[in-house]
Amino acid sequence: MKKLNNKWIRAAIPALLIHCSIGTVYCWSTFKEAIANKIGMSTFALGWAFSLAIFFLGMSAAFAGRMVEKNIHKSSLIACLCFTLGMLGTGVFIKYSTGVLALIGIFIFYGCIMGIGLGIGYLTPVKTLMLWFSEQKGLATGISIMGFGLAKAIATPIMEFLQNKYGIANMFYILGAIYFIMMFIGHLLLKKPQGWVEPVLKKEDFKPLAMFKNKTFLGIWLMFFINIHCGLALITYEKQILGVTFAGMAILSTMISIIPSITAAFNALGRIGYSSISDKMQERNTVYKIIFISCIIISLIALLLMAISNKNSTMFMGIVVIILLVIVNLGYGGGFSTLPALLSERFGMDKISKIHGLALSAWAIAGLTGNNMSELILNLTNKTYDYILIATTILYLISLVICINMVGKKQKI
């Protein structure tokens, strides 16, 4: 039994099983049009299901920190049940109802119930990983959170196959059963290191609102929010951006089908790559500076080329746009995986689940603002994608300023 009680069996593998399941929330673009057609609603109205899922993910993580600290087995089981119930319930409403009733059911199951499972499931393995990998916290969180990003690359072709062969509702039934098995095994395996005892903290020791008065935490929250907001603004419109970029080219259909899987792989690579690099740095915040500077540079290059070419599609422009999406995905993933290690560096390990959960509330807000900002810009500018890139470039610049000026030295709270 001692052979089974190690950091891989008790932390890395269960974390991957949980995160590879819940990370499929980012496959939304793969099936949203099929759901909209099946229930007879617009993709814009349906899009709020995804926004709600991300909102409840962030908010449940923000409020579940205390429970996760006390009992990871309780939290991992709740995550398993909520996530898979959300999947199955979504399938039921797709199959047996249409119109507004179906939309409300999908909002409840996919948006709210599944979103709660997402948030608790996302948060649960993180501290356990950092305890087992105490000298490589960035690598540890990168392994787990990589699974969250890799889920899209793995699940997208599977979802397309299941949709085509069994229908959209049955796809949710089949995947709900598979993810239940994966997450339940992860729940059974997950365990903190032997001998670790959570410090007994008084209830008043952690005051969430007081954290937002802390300049360092507020700076981390803001730059994390902007990184997610900008990422969602671009990532959720990848197919459409590629469609405009490669319009009129014979390579169009091939590029649109292949590139999202490639960018998803880079999203996962960013999660393990940036966080692992942060282990070698004296200052983990440097990772965020690299992320924002690289996104700003490639965005400015893309905007300059768009202005020079007068929006005419060229292969060179297409390559630049692909590089843009790759770099944004790298930074989007890296921002997530480096966050827990950065927070532990600044505020210590004692209350890391609570602090990490509170920081994830930024994800909740960004889930409502990111893709909806793009939708608003497109509606106001007659489907002009350039303005989305202008907006995200400005926000990346703001985030770099916050990163440099607000996220300072480690502080005790």
* 296, 331 contact by CB (below 8 A): no
Residue 413 lies in a domain: no
pLDDT at 128: 87
Closest CA to 234 of 70, 343, 389: 389
State residue 248 phi and psi, 5-degree precision. Answer: 85, -5
Q: Is 330 helix (H, G, I), strand (E, B) or coil?
A: helix
Question: Do 180 and 230 have their domain in common?
Answer: no
CA distance 142 to 149: 10
Give the up-direction half-sphere exposure of residue 231: CA atoms within 13 A in the CB hemisphere: 30
Instruction: Report the alpha-carbon angle 229-234-239, nearest 5.
Output: 145
> 310 and 232, same structural domain?
yes
160-198 pLDDT per residue, tens: 999 999 999 999 999 999 999 999 999 999 988 887 766
Its pTM stands at 0.85
Instruction: Answer whether residue 196 is part of any domain.
Output: no
- Answer whether 349's CB lies under 8 Å from 295's CB: no
The answer to the question of residue 270 being in a domain is yes
Separation of CA 234 from chain center: 13
Copy the structure tokens of residue 83.
């996530």
In 3D space, the residue among 258, 252, 260 whose CA is nearest the CA of residue 235 turns out to be: 260
Please report whether residue 195 resides in a domain.
Answer: no
Question: Any idea what the Cα angle at residue 89 is, between residues 84 and 92, rounded to 5°?
Answer: 135
Among residues 359, 269, 312, which one has the least CA distance to residue 63? 359
Alpha carbon separation from 262 to 16, 232, 292, 328, 384 (Å, rounded): 20, 17, 21, 12, 24
Could you give the CA distance from residue 106 to residue 365 in angstroms, rounded to a whole number?
20
CA 322 to chain centre: 20
Question: Per the structure, how many domains does the chain have?
Answer: 2
121 shares its domain with 241: no
* Same-domain status, 177 and 72: yes
Instruction: Find the helix or strand (DSSP H, E) in which 158 lies.
Output: helix 137-166
Q: What confidence tens digit (pLDDT) does each residue in 83-123 have? A: 999 999 999 999 999 999 999 999 999 999 999 999 999 88
**pLDDT at residue 251, rounded to an integer:** 61
For residues 301 and 247, state if they share a domain: yes
Say whether 191 sits in a helix, a strand or coil.
Answer: coil
Could you tell me the residue range of the domain that residue 401 belongs to?
206-408
Residue 239 lies in a domain: yes
pLDDT reported for residue 132: 87
- Confirm whether 335 is domain-assigned: yes
Measured at the alpha carbon of residue 125, what is the angle toward residues 330 and 269, in degrees to the nearest 5?
A: 15
Same domain for 257 and 353, yes or no, is yes
Same domain, 151 and 267: no
Q: Are 46 and 35 in contact (CB under 8 A)?
A: yes
Q: What are phi and psi of 41, to 5 degrees?
A: -125, 165
Do 156 and 210 belong to one domain? no
Domain with residue 219: its CATH number is: 1.20.1250.20
Looking at 135, 166, 190, the residue that finishes a domain is 190
List the Cα angle 368/122/275 in 5-degree steps.
Answer: 95
Supply the pLDDT for residue 198: 66
Separation between Cα atoms, residue 110 and residue 25, nearest integer Å = 9
Is the distance from CB of 19 to CB of 144 less than 8 angstroms?
Answer: yes
Residues 164 and 289 in one domain: no
Among left, alpha and beta (phi > 0; psi -120 to 50; other), residue 172 is alpha
Of residues 295, 328, 315, the one with CA closest to residue 245: 315
Q: Which residues of the chain have pLDDT under 70?
A: 1-3, 197-205, 248, 250-257, 310-313, 408-413
Candidates 39, 43, 140, 143; CA nearest to 91 is 39
Residues 6+ apart with CB under 8 A from 243: 252, 256
pLDDT attached to residue 37: 94
The CA distance from 297 to 333, in Å, is: 18
The separation between the first and the last C-alpha atoms of the chain, rounded to the nearest angstrom, is 40
**Residue 411: alpha-carbon gap to chain centroid:** 27
Which residue type occupies 324?
A: L
Give yes or no for a contact between 372 and 63, defined as CB atoms under 8 angstroms apart: no
Which residues contact residue 159 at a Cβ distance below 8 angstroms, ignoring those fewer than 6 apart? 24, 27, 30, 31, 171, 175
Which residue in 315, 311, 313, 326 sits closest to 270, CA to CA?
326
In this prediction, residue 144 carries a pLDDT of: 74
